[in-house]
Amino acid sequence: MNQPLNPETILVTEPDTKQAETQLWLASKERSNMSLLRIMSWISLKMGRSVGRLFLHPISAYFLLFSAANRQASCEYLNRALARRATFLDLYRHFFWFASTIHDRIYLINKRFDLFDIEIVGKEAIRQQLAEGNGLFLMGAHMGSFEVIRAIGRQIPDLRVAMTMHEENAQKINAMLAAINPEAGQDIIGLGHIDSMLKVRERLDDGTVVGMLADRTLGEEIMTPINLLGDVALFPNGPFRMAALLRRPVMFMAGVYLGGNRYQIHFQPLADFSDIPTGQRAIAIQNAITTYASLIEQHCRKTPYNWFNFFDFWRPAQTNNTQ
Amino acid sequence: MQETNLVSPLSNASLQLEIAELMVQSLNLEVAPEEILSDSPLYGDGLGLDSIDILEVALVVSKRYGLQLKADNEDNHKIFSSLGSLTEYVAKQRTR
């Protein structure tokens, strides 16, 4: 509410019902995921990744056939990203990619990095930022796997990433991590408290990297409409406001799945709020969100099956514009 | 609680206005500092600040009055619940 309300900025006050439904679906899916995950985790660790992957086909097919809303969202997204009509095979791949990255979490959380072929693009850029020692933000999206980014500790030893997320999700993820590997749940910061922001600041002061997924809103906050894959979508201002306030550099991160056992991690410079005067903060935030959206678009074009927002990402913007 | 009594209500009132001015200025709020009531909630309903706004207030206030706001302080929720409680905390902990 501190942003000067320019015409470019829309305040979303009422949660979109469609989005609420999606979240309900995600929540129920998350619940069944927990027991499914325990069973899958056991099978996968006992019998190996290739046996575990056999189960991913019926799981992907099930969701593709019986979850119409997600299938439609996937189809609309793929039409945009592929710039042609998506085929059934495209849809199947999209769902299979999602299932694969969730499945691979089991191995990544258990530090079975030996199973994967992980390439890092932009290693030098992030190494330079880490060398400054002032901490930085890594902004990702619901794209590919952020678990794979934990894997790179091997190659970039000073990289400690604390992920921020909504408190409820944080608890769920912590429970999930604890179920798979008790040592793994230490570095999640829950958002939505007064304390959480102070925690973020303390971690940055230690030189820790703070990771966020900046493509979905946490609720009532200022959104910025930006063109993504041909139409306007709404992006939350919050993550970038936080980075601006704490005067830190921001890099984009994505851990995209390339099929088989191959992942590719990208680090790309996004913005640097270290020396932005207070008066220029608002415009710097707008510029950063624009850059963020263009980086997302770039990856959607290059590795289209990695986009894991299975709801109509564009619809809230269209609803708002016609009001 | 004993300590709060040592701070005279009069100086607290001017400190409260000063903090309200800091808030309005740093957050570009569209209210006059005098309009922010001592007991109206800062977070959510009331002034309608979100957690990032609160962070901004915390940063500005700790810089201006030379005090530390720690993440592990259990009283944080109380401190930032209203302008009055924040003022009370600043009055007790300020080093300048």
pLDDT digits (tens, 9 = 90+) for A253-305: 999 999 999 999 999 999 999 999 888 999 999 999 999 999 999 999 999 99
The domain tally of chain B equals 1
For A194, which of B28, B51, B72 is closest by C-beta distance?
Answer: B51
**Chain B partners within 8 Å of A6 (Cβ):** none
State the pairing for strand pair A136-140/A209-213.
parallel
Residue of B nearest to A219 (CA): B50
Among residues of chain A, what percentage have pLDDT more than 90?
Answer: 46
Phi, psi of A224 (to 5 degrees): -115, 125
CA distance A2 to chain B (A): 5
**Chain A partners within 8 Å of B28 (Cβ):** 2-4
> Distance between CA A51 and CA A62 in Å, rounded?
18
Can you give the length of chain A in residues?
323
| Interchain contact A220–B (C-beta under 8 A) | yes
pLDDT, mean of residues A61-80 = 93
pLDDT tens per residue across span A185-198:
557 888 777 778 88
**Chain B partners within 8 Å of A246 (Cβ):** 55
Assigned domain for B1 exists:
no
Q: Which two tokens stand for residue A303?
A: 């590795």
**Chain A partners within 8 Å of B29 (Cβ):** 1-2
Distances in whole angstroms, Cα of residue A233 to Cα of each of A71, A155, A230, B60: 19, 36, 9, 33
pLDDT at A17: 43
Assigned domain for B3 exists:
no
Assigned domain for B80 exists:
yes
CA distance A194 to chain B (A): 6
pLDDT tens per residue across span A1-22:
333 333 333 333 333 444 445 5
> Distance between CA A140 and CA A165 in Å, rounded?
12
**Chain B partners within 8 Å of A245 (Cβ):** 52, 55-56, 59
| Interchain contact A191–B (C-beta under 8 A) | yes
**Chain A partners within 8 Å of B41 (Cβ):** none
> Distance between CA A157 and CA A166 in Å, rounded?
28
Assigned domain for B45 exists:
yes
Contact between B65 and A189 under an 8 Å Cβ cutoff? The reply is no
pLDDT band at A140 (very low <50, low <70, confident <90, very high): very high
CA distance A202 to chain B (A): 8
**Residue from A6, A42, A45 nearest A223 by CA:** A6
Contact between A267 and A123 under an 8 Å Cβ cutoff? The reply is yes
Assigned domain for B25 exists:
yes
Q: A with B: how many residue pairs have Cβ under 8 Å apart?
A: 61
Which structural domain, as residue segments, surrounds residue B81?
Answer: 9-93
Assigned domain for B87 exists:
yes
> Distance between CA A35 and CA A51 in Å, rounded?
19
Give the full edge-to-edge strand order of the sheet including A249-259.
A117-121, A262-272, A249-259, A136-140, A209-213, A161-166, A188-191
For A1, which of B49, B55, B77 is closest by C-beta distance?
Answer: B49
Among residues of chain A, what percentage have pLDDT more than 70?
Answer: 78
Residue A234, classed as helix, strand or coil, is strand
Query: How much is the CA Rg of chain A, to the nearest whole Å?
Result: 19
Phi, psi of A166 (to 5 degrees): -55, 140
Assigned domain for B4 exists:
no
CA distance A56 to chain B (A): 39
Helices A68-82 + A281-302 axis angle, to 10: 90
pLDDT at A8: 31
CATH number reported for the structural domain that contains residue B65 in this entry: 1.10.1200.10
Contact between A238 and A94 under an 8 Å Cβ cutoff? The reply is no
Contact between A245 and A233 under an 8 Å Cβ cutoff? The reply is no
pLDDT tens per residue across span A93-119:
999 999 999 889 888 888 888 899 999
The dihedral of CA A298, A12, A22, A34: what is its sign? positive
**Residue from A218, A216, A295, A189 nearest A250 by CA:** A295
Assigned domain for B17 exists:
yes
ipTM > 0.85 (yes/no): no
Is the pLDDT assigned to residue B84 strictly greater than 80?
yes
Helices (H), A147-280: 147-150, 167-180, 194-205, 238-245
Q: Which two tokens stand for residue A308?
A: 């894991």
Residue with tokens 């930032």: B80
Contact between A238 and B55 under an 8 Å Cβ cutoff? The reply is no
Higher pLDDT, A206 or A257: A257
